[in-house]
Amino acid sequence: MIIYGKQVSIYALENHAKSINRVYITKKEVLPPKLFKEFGSKIKFIENRWIQSLTKGGNHQGVAVDMEELELTPLSQLKGGDFVLVLDGLTDVGNIGSIIRTAYCLGVDAVVASGVRQLNIPAIVRSSSGALLDMPFTIKKNTLEVINELKMSNFKLYSASMDGEPVETKKFHKKRALILGSEGRGVSKRVQNRVDEKISIKMRRDFDSLNVSAAAAIIIDRMSYGIE
């Protein structure tokens, strides 16, 4: 897969050297001297028009990296952690990447993208600033099957909902899964009917709602500390 942009490219080079096939740069100064020396044999200088074509017009900042495809983690392995995040029907790669970056920083053990058939993985790697490369992750078409498997592994399921109990007041089970829905639809009704508890963020002003990635950050943080 091709990723591009300085921040995510440098992260991949520093942390996933074995997965790097080729590094394309427009000038030497794009990379820190240490990385330029380390990956010298894999570096190829490329004209701006060619890197524009390679990145399909994206904001490459003079660097693109060809690396091995991301391997999805089997759900059976994801269930080994204590805190799983399920994204029900989210398709916006910017929001997904932002949520995964937050989830990785705040201690979520795994992320499942459900209710979708496929996603643009390289785009999520970029929007997560590389966090997806280190976060156990999988894609599952059927959200109900995911939550059934989590229930069988003794997870308690919490879904974000406007009519849920304030997350600030809750204590959470050690084995817990947070289910977030898309901004337009929220968590599907079929899934809401199968969760153990609904939770929400107490708003201090009368406003519609928060962006899903902002809401995710608040709820994940609260669920990371409020353990029973």
- Same-domain status, 166 and 102: yes
- Same-domain status, 157 and 207: yes
Q: In Å, what is the CA distance from 210 to each residue of 124, 183, 201, 217?
A: 21, 9, 9, 11
Identify the residue whose tokens are 């996603």: 119
- Same-domain status, 79 and 50: no
- Same-domain status, 150 and 207: yes
- Same-domain status, 36 and 102: no
Q: In Å, what is the CA distance from 12 to each residue of 47, 50, 68, 120?
A: 22, 21, 11, 17
Q: In Å, what is the CA distance from 172 to each residue of 82, 103, 122, 166, 201?
A: 11, 17, 33, 12, 15
Q: Under 8 Å CB-to-CB from 56, ≥6 apart: which residues? A: none
Strand pairing report for 197-200 and 156-166: parallel
- Same-domain status, 217 and 117: yes
User: What's the CATH code of the domain at 16?
Assistant: 3.30.1330.30
- Same-domain status, 100 and 213: yes
What is the rounded CA–CA span in Å between residue 17 and residue 19? Answer: 5
Evaluate if residue 43 carries a pLDDT over 80. yes
Residue that terminates a domain, selected from 67, 96, 112: 67
User: What's the CATH code of the domain at 131?
Assistant: 3.40.1280.10
- Whole-model pTM above 0.85? yes
Residue that terminates a domain, selected from 44, 67, 90: 67
- Same-domain status, 191 and 145: yes
- Same-domain status, 142 and 204: yes
pLDDT in tens, 154-189: 999 999 888 888 888 888 999 999 999 876 677 888
Domain count, the chain: 2
- Same-domain status, 121 and 56: no
Domain span at residue 48?
2-67
- Same-domain status, 83 and 62: no
What pLDDT does 208 receive? 64
- Same-domain status, 38 and 79: no
pLDDT in tens, 188-224: 888 888 999 999 887 777 666 678 888 899 999 999 8
Residue that terminates a domain, selected from 51, 67, 83: 67
For 87-106, b/e burial (b = at least 16 CB within 10 A) is bbbbebbebbbbbbbbbbeb
